[in-house]
């Protein structure tokens, strides 16, 4: 009986190997590629089976009029930017003897820094307490200039600072190769 079972296994193994070899030869596949082809087919059939069983999410296309249009991902209260906070702090500390400083620049979009704190872009009218301040302007292309301003109580001053370009706008090359 054992001999018969062993003979049956051998007799079935030979035709299945032969059949696989014929199929591979017919499609021009080498045995190395045939395994990757079979694995890819198995992966694709499984992934398509998973895709077919998935349900699409139920998302309303038009927001309802009863629900507020507030995103849960946005903060509830809008926080002012640091520039505005710095300006408000200067104005609140100014008191009744507030001084006014109008800052202008030769380059638009220059940033104004007062005592190391950014307060905005030029031109800007600032309300500050009387005292001594270091004003620095930083241009859009890394141009810088600074000065120190002393303001008296209730003084209004206009400050126009000239920013020089840090990098040349034009480059001229001279060559001595063709002389």
Render pLDDT for 71-105 as a digit per residue (tens, 0 to 9).
Answer: 666 666 677 889 999 999 999 999 899 999 999 99
**Mean of all residue pLDDT scores within the chain:** 75
The full set of domain ranges for the chain reads: 2-52, 82-161
What are the residues whose beta carbons fall under 8 Å from the beta carbon of 167, sequence distance 6 or more?
141, 142
User: Global pTM?
Assistant: 0.51
Instruction: Check residues 11 and 135 and name the one with the higher pLDDT.
Output: 135
Instruction: Check residues 20 and 126 and name the one with the higher pLDDT.
Output: 126
Would you put residue 53 in left (φ > 0), alpha (ψ -120 to 50) or beta? alpha
Q: Domain 82-161 adopts which CATH fold?
A: Immunoglobulin-like (2.60.40)
Tell which residue, 112, 127, 120, has the closest CA to residue 161. 112
Q: Is the CB of residue 122 less than 8 Å from the CB of residue 112?
A: yes
Q: What average pLDDT does range 110-128 have in this prediction?
A: 94
H or E element: which one contains 32? helix 31-53
- For residue 132, the model assigns a pLDDT of 96
- For residue 143, the model assigns a pLDDT of 85
Can you tell me the distance from the alpha carbon of 126 to that of 68, in angstroms, rounded to the nearest whole number? 39
User: Which residues on adjacent β-strands are paired with residue 105?
Assistant: 161
pLDDT in tens, 32-56: 555 565 565 555 555 555 555 666 6
């Amino acid at each position: 009986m054992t001999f018969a079972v062993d003979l049956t296994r051998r007799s079935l193994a030979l035709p299945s190997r032969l059949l696989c070899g014929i199929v591979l030869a017919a499609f021009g596949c080498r045995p190395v590629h045939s395994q990757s082809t079979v694995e890819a087919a198995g992966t694709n059939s499984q992934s398509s089976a998973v895709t077919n069983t998935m349900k699409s999410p139920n998302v309303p296309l038009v927001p309802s009029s009863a629900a507020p249009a507030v995103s849960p991902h946005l903060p509830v209260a809008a926080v002012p930017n640091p520039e505005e906070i710095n300006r408000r702090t200067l104005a609140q500390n100014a008191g009744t003897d507030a001084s006014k400083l109008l800052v202008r620049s030769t380059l638009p979009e220059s940033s104004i820094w007062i005592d190391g704190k950014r307060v905005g872009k030029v031109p800007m009218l600032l309300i500050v307490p009387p005292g001594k301040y270091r004003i620095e302007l930083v241009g859009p292309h890394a141009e810088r200039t600074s000065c120190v301003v002393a303001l008296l109580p209730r003084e209004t001053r206009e400050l126009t600072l000239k920013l020089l370009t840090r990098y040349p706008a034009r480059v001229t090359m001279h060559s001595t190769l063709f002389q």
